[in-house]
């Protein structure tokens, strides 16, 4: 039993890449931040990451594609579109959290709230890493740091899945929006 466990652990370590180490650091930092800041702050942050991922996946085809470039291929324009839309929305929510934290006095966070904050932080980290995996999937395979990584294996479907299922809600709010079929195509791909 111990031998099997160690053999499985060695297989995981063999597949571990530098981008997986970076993903692990992102997870640890977000989880630490979420436990420290509490559920309200984490709720605003996860809302920002959720809306950032939804709007970046919904609107990236319309953002930079209209600018044809002799220097950058469409894949790079799509990559930058996803990143710019996502980061723009997340920064707005980050600033919102900072304003609320300045207004709020230091308060004691209960152990139960820390547990819920931990879960919310893990969801936020998963969605954040997944949107980066999605954006890097536009790049050629030799330039995609997530190609074949453990992060990609476990997290690549989080953002597309979130977009696909949340689109049903947003479609009711604005029926004129069209579903981005490119996200569905990405979702069914077996390998990045």
Per-residue confidence band for 192, with pLDDT thresholds at 50, 70 and 90: very low
In a domain, 22, yes or no: yes
On average, the pLDDT of the chain sits at 85
SS (H, E, C) 116-131: HHHHHHHHHHHHHHHH
In a domain, 11, yes or no: no
In a domain, 45, yes or no: yes
In a domain, 9, yes or no: no
DSSP 8-state secondary structure symbol assigned to residue 147:
T
In a domain, 5, yes or no: no
Residue-number span of the structural domain to which 138 is assigned: 16-188
pLDDT score recorded for residue 188 = 54
- Closest Cα to residue 52, out of 13, 20, 96, 8? 96
Q: Which of 21-30, 129-138, 143-152 is the least confident region?
A: 143-152
For the segment 97-101, the average pLDDT, to the nearest whole number, is 84
pLDDT score recorded for residue 9 = 65
Across 103-112, 123-132, 139-148, the highest mean pLDDT is recorded for 123-132
- Within 13 A of 25's CA, how many CA atoms are on the CB side? 6
| pLDDT at 13 exceeding the cut of 70 | no
In a domain, 125, yes or no: yes
In a domain, 7, yes or no: no
Question: How many independent structural domains does the chain possess?
Answer: 1
Q: Which of 29-33, 98-102, 127-131 is the least confident region?
A: 98-102
In a domain, 10, yes or no: no
Helix (H, G, I), strand (E, B) or coil at 115: helix
pLDDT tens sequence across 68-91: 766 678 888 888 899 999 999 999
More reliable by pLDDT, 183 or 7: 183
């Amino acid at each position: 039993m111990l031998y099997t466990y160690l053999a499985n652990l060695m297989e995981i370590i063999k597949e571990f890449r530098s981008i997986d180490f970076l993903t692990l650091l992102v997870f640890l930092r977000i989880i630490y931040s979420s436990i420290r800041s509490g559920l309200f702050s984490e709720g605003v942050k996860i809302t920002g990451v959720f809306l950032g991922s939804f709007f970046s996946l919904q609107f990236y085809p319309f953002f930079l594609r209209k600018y044809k470039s002799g220097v950058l291929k469409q894949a790079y324009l799509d990559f930058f579109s996803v990143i710019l839309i996502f980061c723009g929305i997340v920064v707005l929510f980050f600033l919102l959290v900072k304003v609320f934290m300045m207004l709020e006095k230091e308060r004691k966070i209960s152990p139960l709230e820390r547990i819920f904050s931990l879960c919310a932080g893990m969801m936020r980290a998963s969605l954040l890493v997944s949107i980066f995996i999605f954006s890097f999937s536009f790049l050629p395979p030799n330039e995609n740091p997530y190609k074949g990584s453990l992060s990609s294996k476990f997290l690549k479907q989080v953002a597309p899945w979130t977009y696909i299922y949340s689109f049903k809600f947003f479609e009711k709010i604005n029926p004129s929006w069209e579903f981005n079929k490119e996200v569905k195509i990405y979702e069914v791909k077996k390998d990045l």
